[in-house]
A and B are shown apart, each in its own frame.
Chain A
Amino acid sequence: MKKWGEVALGVVTSIGGFLEVGSIATSTQGGAEFGYQLAWALLLGTLSLAFLMEMTGRLAAVSKRTYGDLLRERFGYRFFLLPLAAVLVVSFLVLASEIGGVSIALQMATGIPFPWWAIPVALLGWVLLWRGTFGIVEKGTALLGLVAVVFAAGALKLHPAWPAVGRGLLPSAPSENRARYWYLAVSILGASISPYLYLFYSAGAVEDEWTIEHLGVNRVTAGLGNLFGGTLAVAALVAAALVLAPRGIRVDRYEQIAMVLASPLGRAGFVLFLATLCVTCFGSTLEIVLAMAYMLAQGFGWPWSENLKPGKDARFTTSYTVVILLAALPIAIGMNPLALTNLSMVATAASLPVTVVPLLVLMNDGDILLKHTNGWLSNGALVIIALLSIVLLVAALPLQLLGGG
């Protein structure tokens, strides 16, 4: 019985964790500009993330060590600096974008300009991290994040042509605006496959004291949770395709994304959009800050746990304190949150090789995983994801220049 409770909570957690500033922005941009044609990028991103989370979760459950620990232990300090630097830089950009998402939602709700909200949002997040346990941070924000199902309601109400949506799930080349199309495809992939997600997930497995007994829970959580999360992102894309594309609106401000729900669901849709943006971005804010502090603490061997009082792991708590306050600054000085989000998603996509490729080694190491090393399916998927990550790295900068505007 307890197991199923854990499964349910795990699934809810990944649904709530999936939709955040990046996926909301890039899915609706994709829908507004290319209809259903980019749905395949969401499917590919979701599947990739599900595999990566299952693997890092299995790694932690079997070895009692996090992915961050093993990156340092098995590859040495010199190599470790590479994923560390990539994760810190990219996560910082995404974190600032999430704080921007919360701030924009609050601006739309109150009329007070978003820069004023950045510091209060960061402080509130910090208080929750300081006082809250891992369970509160993980489950509390995830349960609130369920409000995101409003995207599914919006999409259904708009009566999409399902065969056309289905065709979008298969990749196809666009007839025009090629650079923009591939730019958005890369952004959507970057928004779906974020390193902080699997780093946080593997640290969470250790925080929750997972053992080999949890391998089933892990598989269901990673699979079903991401499937539901990905479905909501597809719903956002579909709704944008039906609301924004016919009106010729290209998303360049968050206010336009609100129409995606306000149009089919009226005032309630507008309010629920604000709630979704606010809650999911806030939840991701906490997860990213923790993921960054975990990575530092694990790499350098400091004490760390969200369940310890801050005085017991001073370097860890100082890290998240500094990070969350610094990340509020770009928004507090008025940087455009949507532009920052788009930049962060492409940067995320480019950063993937350094956190994906090492898994190929770790997941096949019998000293770490005993008899739970990767089978042919996981290895096949991982090779494809690794190749994809290298393509994303190579394509990111040229596409940012050609299709970012």
Chain B
Amino acid sequence: MTPDHPSADHGSTGPGSSGLGSSGLGSSGLGSAGLGLPDAGPARFASLDEVRGGLAQVGYLADEAISGVVYLADRLSKPVLVEGPAGTGKTQLAKSVADLTGARLIRLQCYEGLDESKALYEWNYRKQLLRIQAGEHGEGEREGPSWKELEEDIFSEDFLLARPLLEAIRSTDPVVLLVDEVDRVELETEALLLEILSEYQVSIPELGTVKATRLPMVFLTSNNTRELSEALKRRCLYLHVDYPDLDRERDIVRSRVPGITEELADQVARIVRSLRTLELRKAPSVSETLDWARTLVILGVETIDAAGARDTLHVLLKYQSDIERAAKELLTAAG
């Protein structure tokens, strides 16, 4: 069967479907695969290679899996759930994709106790109260407005405080939405993400449904501290980012640490790889590897020996028991 590239959607957006009248139902244009989503806009990436090359240009070295999933997410207009140990570049991926496509990055940092008023939208009570009080007195000789007019007025868009999720939906310029550490929110609170992830719309009871004119690229990151709900997972494409292999880590070190020699980068990558095979409480992540490499460059070290590594081990490992174990197993006895 022949691969069937979807016809590129020409023209920027569909009809103004973010209309906020009381009926508030924008037209559902023929979106991706006719799923009733608004127009996806032109596909951001023409091919898989373009994704990989583009990410490398903005400084993010992606492997097959990562670039494949980003490409698919663009084509299918689905959000991406990025899971993995801390410090492996999950948040950085979203930032790099934003850089690459020239989009604005909107970030929602999740924490326990996050609720609708901080994530989706909130009514500006104070402004509404003031409006009501101002309306009571009217202007000069005229009577104040009738209740019906007032009601429509205070529940209009001026009085709506848009939080990150709503802002991402309403935006007319290209946007990358990053929902960071989604495993920290309660299971029940995840529910407020579901509508956005599957249909890119927000329902506001007083106003109606706000649909996205331009579909944002959505990234959710998780550190896997708890099991996410099935409903959330099935709306997303899943990407597991693990610690990189030797070659990729070496390339990352060389590109991110200015002034490092190839030999030193190679040694750094090898030592970190060996450390990860030990049973540590927290294995060194990519960001810690980069910190260590920078430390070595600043100290002017050209090749690492056991003593030098032992002295700077605290940059890599963050638990005393881990440091002791690494010093004992790696840096004294032979393998």
Answer yes or no: do A and B interact. no
B residues near A (Cβ < 8 Å) are none
A residues near B (Cβ < 8 Å) are none
